Each structure stands twice: as C-alpha cells, then as structure tokens.
Amino acid sequence: MLDKLNEFTESHGELRRGRGLVTGTIAFSLAILCFLGVLAFHFPQYLTTPELRKSYNVDVMRIILLTALVISGGLSLVNIIFNRSRWLSSAAFLLVAASALLGGHKVPVHDFADNTPYIGLDWFILDLLGSSLIFIFIEKLFALRKDQPVFREEWQTDFHHFVVNHMIVGFVLLATNLMVHKLFGWAANDGIRGWVGNLPFWAGLLLIILVADLVQYWTHRAYHEVPVLWRLHAVHHSVKSMDWMAGSRQHILELLITRTLVLAPIYVLGFSKDVIDAYIVVVGFQAVFNHCNVSVRLGPLRYLIVTPNFHHWHHSQDQEALDKNYAAHYAFLDYLFGTAVKSTKLWPEKYGVLGDYVPNGFFKQLKFPFVWKG
C-alpha cells in the first residue's frame, strides 16, 4: 500500500474515471485533513493560530470535521466493497478510523496557554479545504486549458510551497509585524491615522487596496529589474502551468520582504480593523483566482482591475509580455506607468522563466537564489 501511495503522489496527469481514483483521492485527501484536524483539537496551543482562535465557532468546526469524516469514510468504504482502488481507499479508511479512535469531532478542548510557540496547522487545513473546493470547481466550470488536469506537472512542488508557507504563518506574522513596527513605527501620525481610521468602509477599502497595490507594484517591479531580487522572484515565475496552486510557489524571503513593505503603509496610515479584514479577504481571493486556469477577462473592466487574463500575461514567456503587468489589484496602474502588456493575442502561449533555468523541487528552489551562477 505504501509503495502504491508513494508512486501515486509522485505521479501527475488526469485521474481515469471508473476505477475509483477520483472518489479515492477525495476520500484520502479528506481523511488526511480530518486526522490533522483531530490533532489540532488535541494540541490547540501548538497547532493553531492565535489570531484565528478568537474567531472560531468550535461547534461549527466540529460539524465540519464530522461531515468530512462521514464523506471520507463513506466513499472509501464503497470503493473497498466494490473493489475500486482498494489500496487508496483502504489508506483513507485507516486514517478515518485512526481519527475516530483519537476522539474524532468530540475531542474536548480545555483551557490552554495562549503564548506558546505554534505552527499554523489550522490555517493550512481550512485554506486547503476551502481553496480546493472553491477554485477547482471554478476551474472546471470556466477552464481556459480544458486538457489541463488538477494534478498537472510539478503540482507536488507547489503543494510543498503551499504547506510550508501556511505552516509557518505564525513566524511570518511575527516577523513582519516586528519589522513593520521597528522600521516604520516612527512614521505613524495620530492625526492621519485618526482621519484614515474614520473613513467610510467603502472608501477605506478602496484606499487600502490602492495603497497596498502601489507598494506592491513598485516592489514587484524591483524584483524584476534588480538582479539580486530577481534571484528570489524567479522561483515564483518558474511555474509552467497556471492554476489555483501556482501562486503558492514563492520563496520565503520574498514573502517576508513583500508582506513587510505592503503592511508598513497600512500600519502607518491606521486603517480600521474592519477595512483591514476586508482587504485580507480581497487579497487572499485575488492571489489565488488570478493564477487560476480560468478563461476570465471581464471585458472593459480588465483595464481597471487585475483579472486572470491580466496576470497570466505576467507569467508568460512571450517576448511582448516580459517584465509587464506588475499590479496585483488595480490594472490601471500598469497602464498609468506604461508597463501594461500590448498584444494582439487574447492569451499567452507558454508560462515560466525564459530559459527554464530554475530547478524543480521545493528544497532546490529554496537554495536557488544563493547558488545560481547566472
């Protein structure tokens, strides 16, 4: 079973229907998340994110966990009975059984210390479950490249980036907050912060996106034009297939630098908590959606806001698209600064770094900026 699982996870391509591979994969994926969820219930002080704990409805979390256990267990049991991908379904069923034996959705949560070191296992589980349910559905509904499977080439590398960047969310938050306060705390002005903090919600949201995107635009442009920064950013551009997982490929140093620079003006200007929370939702959605394998252009709106079409061009190897389309939210910034792609084609032909010199594999890409001789 373990040999087959290793071979399966190291492969790529479309899952052939009628053999229980699709339902088996769903069951196995849910079973892993359920098992991790039960562990998070057992050790919340070490495996959950303090910022998220405050907003949890534990009863809702238990219902989600129970539902996932039932779906995973049911799908795997049906496949086992009908002899469909038994090795995969058996692995899923064993994980469901282990989760149930560890307490399942009924694990009690007692009082615990709130200042312990932690990894963001809860954020990883919720984001992976939510993102896959939403964006894989959208990609199947509005696919740009209809022959591109969910498990396309190099998906494992992007999944490893996804896991690591979510697990160390606590470190990233701590590091960026510390750097923002240390480097930019002097710039905070109570008068400006009071005015910005009291803006109507809609005005504050439009402004925070503009402020963040201006910083994002020039930071992003610097990653392309400054050779030492390109070493980091080339990792992100090395992805050769655009889908909901592609945006996860990002070097941890780039993540820290960019988040610090973007959060700095947000902190200095003093936006309200409601506006910041809404901005986080917007940036979280756009960061995934604009990498998706979806045929979305939005007509004339594409000149105002960043769409998948706009951002796909940024990842293109086509000559007319190199070092173009830097904005993350407002496309008009690239038109304003003269860096918007001008092409007679609707979509780019090929993605990735021109010359294809970035190695595949998470650890190889982690080392790449420091060992590349280019």
Residue labelled with tokens 């306060």: 181
* pLDDT mean over 105-109: 94
What is the full DSSP assignment across 286-302? HHHHTTSSB----GGGG
pLDDT band at 189 (very low <50, low <70, confident <90, very high): low
Which tokens go with 317?
Answer: 């190897």
The predicted pLDDT at position 37 comes to 96
For residues 192 and 81, what is the distance between their CA atoms, to the nearest angstrom? 66
Contact 237, 353 (CB under 8 A): yes
- Map residue 133 onto helix, strand or coil: helix
For residue 206, is it left (φ>0), alpha (ψ between -120 and 50) or beta?
Answer: alpha
> How sure is the predictor about 53, in pLDDT bands with cuts at 50, 70 and 90?
confident
Higher pLDDT, 301 or 174: 301
Counts for the chain of helices (H) and strands (E), in that order: 17, 0
Determine the pLDDT at residue 242.
97
pLDDT of 267 strictly over 90: no
Lowest mean pLDDT segment, chosen from 44-48, 108-112, 186-190: 186-190
Query: In the prediction, which pLDDT does 328 show?
Result: 96
Q: What is the pLDDT of residue 52?
A: 82
Q: How many CB atoms lie within 10 A of CB 324?
A: 19
Q: Please say if the pLDDT value at position 295 is more than 90.
A: yes
pLDDT for residue 112: 85
Q: Give me the residues paired with residue 305 across strands.
A: 330
Residue 188 — pLDDT band, cuts 50, 70, 90? low
Please tell me the distance from the alpha carbon of residue 8 to that of residue 266, in angstroms, as a whole number: 44
Mean pLDDT along residues 104-129: 89
What would the two tokens of residue 225 be?
């034009």
- pLDDT of 14 higher than 70: yes
* pLDDT, position 56: 83
So what's the pLDDT on residue 3? 83
Q: What is the pLDDT of residues 346-360, one digit of tens each?
A: 999 899 999 999 999
| Burial annotation 51-76 (CB, 10 A radius, 16+ → b, else e) | eebeeeeeeebbebbeebbebbbebb
Q: CA 134 to CA 281: how far, in whole Å? A: 14
Percent of the chain residues past pLDDT 70, beyond the cut? 94
Residue at token pair 């809702």: 60
Average confidence (pLDDT) over 297-303: 90
Span of 91-95, 167-171, 267-271, 356-360 with lowest mean pLDDT:
167-171
pLDDT one-digit tens code per residue, 206-245: 999 999 999 999 999 999 999 999 999 999 999 999 999 9
Task: Give the whole-angstrom CA distance, residue 348 versus residue 346.
Answer: 7
Q: How confident is the model at residue 174 (pLDDT cuts 50, 70, 90)?
A: low
Predicted pLDDT of residue 312: 97
Contact 204, 196 (CB under 8 A): yes
Mean pLDDT of 130-136: 93
pLDDT at 117 over 90: no
Kindly list the distances between the CA atom of residue 89 and the CA atoms of 30, 64, 67, 95, 101, in Å, as whole numbers in the listed order: 11, 21, 17, 10, 18
Q: Look at the chain and count its residues.
A: 374
Looking at residues 23-40, what average pLDDT do you find?
A: 96
Nearest-angstrom CA–CA distance, 188 and 241:
42
- Poorest-confidence range of 2-11, 24-33, 84-93, 293-302? 2-11
pLDDT score at 55: 81
Helix residue spans in 54-154 (DSSP H): 58-81, 86-101, 121-141
Q: What is the mean pLDDT of the chain?
A: 91
